[in-house]
């Protein structure tokens, strides 16, 4: 089964414009599959993989002459999992500077490592994009909006990783295998992480707190790690694209929380597998959490793919008045409340409405979410 990706067209249009293309996304989101689709029919492509020792050895002491010998007649060079290659930024610059007719494409599953290694050397020399698990837009385009709406209960439980979606009936086994290899490869064996068991406990604690404000002090007590280590692990998990955070929105009011944060998972399936709960939605007590995580992650994908540059937040006051999700783009604000039940009406804080009278406010339920996504 092949599901077309939105980023395929974006990447294709940036080919041979004189800059490297950097594609970042967690393992198994489909980076290699996307590139193979983009480059289908292209004969002169050199593929390398940073996970392979042979590639890392070959690139260890790379020179212009060695590049010339490796590239040969190819005019496209793809380096998968490039963060595994030492000094990949400088080595990428060497290639782009000396072979202007060769299109370099770099992929990486660690935004921390890859960003640190390529940002400065490739300043002004790269297009950078992110790939996520399959989005609602991609799935609706493939299955049709009605059929995808019918599959919503599956998405809330098993998520939208390509391998999970493309193996109907085997979602549980595929997801569990994916979660173990996904986490252990890029997070738990990270050389900076000394206590992998604690990372699992931290992820489980975060999974139960989706949609709630996260306290590093409380987490440190729960997982028995000091606060600084908890903060470091959260940052690493963010940069490995397991989780992401929303900051607090504040402008006008003394009572607005200014430094709070909420943490979400990029994929519902990963979140559910971590806590060992893949039960159907009709017998779950956490359907509200699943719905909020799904919608926030889908809005993140949509804004990234649409290149809107919208900034996401949540809003809360010290009196516990709150708004689930806010977007700010070009000076305009949108506020969303997420309610699984179409009959449950959201009560928008009068304090919020008074402080931000021009904001566009919508309640998103399972009956109207398609209009937003």
pLDDT at residue 348, rounded to an integer: 82
Per-residue pLDDT tens, the chain, 373 aa: give them.
Answer: 789 999 999 999 999 999 999 999 888 999 999 999 999 888 899 999 998 999 999 999 899 999 999 999 999 999 998 888 888 888 988 999 999 999 999 998 765 556 556 666 777 788 989 999 999 999 999 999 999 999 999 999 999 999 999 999 999 999 999 988 777 666 766 656 777 788 889 999 999 999 888 888 899 999 888 999 899 889 888 888 889 999 988 887 777 777 789 999 999 999 999 999 999 999 999 999 999 999 999 999 999 999 888 999 998 888 888 899 999 998 899 999 999 998 887 788 888 888 889 999 999 999 999 999 9
- pTM (2 decimals)? 0.92
Contacts of 241 (CB under 8 A, 6+ apart): 24, 25, 26, 109, 111, 266
Helix (H, G, I), strand (E, B) or coil at 118: helix
DSSP 313: E
Per-residue pLDDT, 268: 97
Count the neighbouring beta carbons within 10 Å of the beta carbon of residue 251. Answer: 11
pLDDT for 189 equals 64
Q: Which residues pair with 373 in a beta bridge?
A: none
Other Cβ atoms less than 10 A from the Cβ of 295: the count is 23
What's the CA gap between 48 and 31, in Å, rounded? 14
* pLDDT at site 119: 63
Runs of H (alpha helix) within the chain? 6-13, 31-38, 53-58, 64-71, 88-98, 111-118, 136-143, 145-150, 152-158, 162-165, 171-183, 196-208, 216-223, 227-239, 268-274, 287-305, 350-355, 369-372
d(CA 7, CA 155): 21
| Three-class secondary structure of residue 332 per DSSP | strand
- Residue 183, pLDDT score: 72
pLDDT for 116 equals 57
Pairing of strands 322-329, 332-338: antiparallel
How many angstroms separate the CA atoms of 272 and 268, rounded? 6
Q: Which domains does the chain have, with CATH numbers?
A: 6-130 (3.40.50.300), 136-372 (1.10.10.10)
């Amino acid at each position: 089964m092949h599901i077309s990706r939105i980023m395929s067209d974006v990447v294709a249009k940036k080919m041979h414009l004189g800059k490297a293309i950097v594609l970042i996304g967690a393992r198994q989101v489909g980076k290699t599959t996307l590139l193979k689709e983009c480059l289908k029919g292209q004969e002169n492509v050199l593929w390398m993989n940073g996970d392979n020792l042979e590639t890392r050895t070959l690139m260890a002491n790379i020179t212009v002459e060695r590049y010339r010998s490796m590239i040969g007649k190819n005019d496209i060079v793809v380096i998968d999992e490039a963060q595994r290659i030492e000094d990949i930024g400088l080595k990428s610059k060497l290639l782009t500077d000396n072979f202007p007719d060769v299109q370099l494409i770099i992929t990486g599953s660690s935004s921390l490592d890859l960003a640190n290694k390529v940002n400065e050397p490739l300043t002004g020399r790269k297009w950078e994009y992110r790939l996520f698990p399959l989005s609602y837009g991609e799935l609706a385009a493939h299955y049709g909006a009605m059929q995808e709406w019918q599959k919503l209960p599956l998405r809330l439980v098993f998520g939208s990783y390509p391998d999970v979606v493309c193996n109907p009936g085997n979602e549980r086994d595929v997801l569990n295998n994916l979660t173990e290899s996904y986490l252990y490869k890029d997070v738990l064996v990270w050389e900076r992480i000394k206590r992998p068991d604690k990372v699992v406990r931290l992820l489980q604690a975060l999974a139960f707190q989706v949609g709630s404000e996260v306290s590093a002090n409380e987490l440190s007590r729960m997982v028995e790690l000091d606060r600084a280590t908890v903060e470091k692990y959260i940052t690493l998990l963010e940069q490995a694209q397991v989780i992401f955070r929303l900051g607090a929105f504040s402008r006008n009011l003394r009572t607005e929380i200014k430094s709070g944060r909420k943490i979400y998972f990029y994929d519902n399936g990963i979140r559910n597998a971590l806590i060992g709960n893949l039960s159907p939605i009709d017998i779950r007590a956490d359907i509200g959490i699943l719905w909020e995580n799904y919608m926030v992650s889908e809005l993140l994908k949509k804004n990234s793919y649409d290149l809107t540059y919208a900034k996401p937040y949540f809003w809360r006051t010290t009196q516990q008045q709150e708004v689930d999700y806010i977007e700010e783009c070009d000076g305009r604000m949108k506020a969303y409340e997420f309610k699984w039940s179409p009959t449950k009406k959201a009560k928008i804080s009068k304090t919020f409405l008074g402080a931000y009278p021009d904001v566009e406010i919508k309640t998103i339920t399972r009956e109207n979410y398609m209009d937003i996504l």
